[in-house]
Structure 1
Amino acid sequence: MSFDPMAAAVDWLDAYRAGEIETILEMYADDATVHCGCGGMKAITGREGLHAYWTDRVRQFPASELDNLHPSDDGTLITYVARHGIVSVVLTFDALGQIVSHTCGPSN
């Protein structure tokens, strides 16, 4: 069975919508980086940083429904509805199917 980055992106959004922080964290490689442009650009690395980021995201910026999903040059582009509008996220994955890069920001 081969890895499906589109399905993994949907699984990621499902875990986010459910507030399952530990499930979300398990999806990230140990050396993953999040570049978040929501509310000002920031870069998050390391397990502690990711845990703090996701704890805040789930509480302050919950995701609701899927807006769009398609492959991108760098990975998978997923857009979803959040409290303050549509958010776009590009997820890139390693060979094991873990997220190595997550870049997000408000959708234009």
Structure 2
Amino acid sequence: MSFDPMAVAVDWLDAYRAGDIESILEMYAEDAVVRCGCGSVKTITGREALRADWVDRIREYPAGTLDDLNPYDDGTILSYVTSAGIVNALFAFDAAGRIKELNLAPIH
């Protein structure tokens, strides 16, 4: 692995906290899949759908502080605080270090 999965996850959170949608989108692989269990369960694919989701997510659930960060297989689990509570983000990456899969779920 020629990248640091935990560093990519932290960069993602930093971009999220800054509201930098373009930087966030650059982190995703072209065929990325995002599954979100926040509110209604949904699966997001495609660049424009990701962009639209991020516009809503930043407005409705701005990210706060990092809660926890751990390696997981070849990916990372990052927990962060939002206005709705703590969310777990499970990242899986492609060989280039781009986010291939992201699973988001609130911690109840």
TM-score in terms of structure 1 length: 0.96
Alpha-carbon deviations, 1:5-60, whole Å to 9, x = none?
A: 00000000000000000000000000000000000210000001000000101111
Letter of the 1:40 counterpart: S
Tell me the distance in 2 between the aligned counterparts of 1:82 and 1:71: 21
Runs of 4+ in 1 over 4 A off after TM superposition: none
CA distance in 2, matches of 1:73, 1:38: 24
| Offset, 1:70 | 0.3
1:7 corresponds to which residue? Answer: 7
Structure 1: tracts of 5 or more residues without a match: none
**Structure 1 residue 50 corresponds to structure 2 residue 32:** no
Structure 2, unaligned runs of 5 or more: none
CA RMSD of aligned residues (A): 1.2
> Who is 1:105 aligned against?
105
CA contact (8 A) 1:74 1:90 kept: no
CA shift for structure 1 position 73: 3.1
**Cα distance in structure 1, aligned partners of 2:46 and 2:61:** 21
**2:27 matched to which residue of 1?**
27
- The answer as to whether partners of 2:16 and 2:58 remain within 8 angstroms in 1 is yes
Q: Offset of 1:74 from its aligned partner?
A: 5.6
| CA–CA separation in structure 2 for the residues paired with 1:77 and 1:89 | 6
Q: Secondary structure at the match of 1:102?
A: strand
Q: Alignment partner of 2:70: what SS?
A: strand
